[in-house]
Amino acid sequence: MRGGELIREARRRASLTQQEVADRLGTTQSVVTRWETGAHSPSFETVVRAIRACGLELAVTIGPPDIDHELFIRENLRLSPAERLDRLTEQQEGLRQLVYSAQKQKRKGGQEAVS
């Protein structure tokens, strides 16, 4: 991911406009546009400042590749945003059901101990 793409992602996650990010950085909306479109490449320091201006932090790790993680990412990138959202919603519902079952089982076990 390039610097401008990181800035755009942070801005979108923070629900900010390009103008709002520009105001926070003391620059213009057109500069932010050029970063995000790749017409100009911001320095690493500028990327970090812009992300912080969005109320977020940039975390970078360097390590051996995680093949399973890479395959998961590639698989998800093949999906449309709507399909990704549907998948996340299904996973969230599955987790809710799992937690509910665990809580129910725990309550059931606690009742048997009282009997």
Select the more confidently predicted residue: 62 or 115: 62
Q: What is the mean pLDDT of residues 3-31?
A: 97
Query: Is residue 59 in some structural domain?
Result: no
| Count of domains observed in the chain | 2
In degrees and rounded to multiples of 5, residue 64 shows phi and psi of -65, 150
**% of the chain with per-residue pLDDT over 90:** 72
CA 6 to chain centre: 11
Which pLDDT score is estimated for 36? Answer: 97
Which pLDDT score is estimated for 27? Answer: 98
Query: Is residue 58 in some structural domain?
Result: no
Q: Is this model's pTM higher than 0.75 or not?
A: no
Q: What is the pLDDT of residues 46-95, one digit of tens each?
A: 999 999 999 999 998 888 877 888 888 889 899 999 999 999 999 999 99
Contact 6, 51 (CB under 8 A): yes
Question: Do 72 and 97 reside in the same domain of the chain?
Answer: yes
DSSP 51-83: HHHTT--------S--HHHHHHHHHHHTS-HHH
Question: Do 47 and 72 reside in the same domain of the chain?
Answer: no
Which pLDDT score is estimated for 70? Answer: 85
- Asked if residue 114 has pLDDT above 60, the reply is no
Q: Which residue has the tokens 């665990």?
A: 102
Contact 22, 31 (CB under 8 A): yes
Which CATH number does the domain housing residue 26 bear? 1.10.260.40
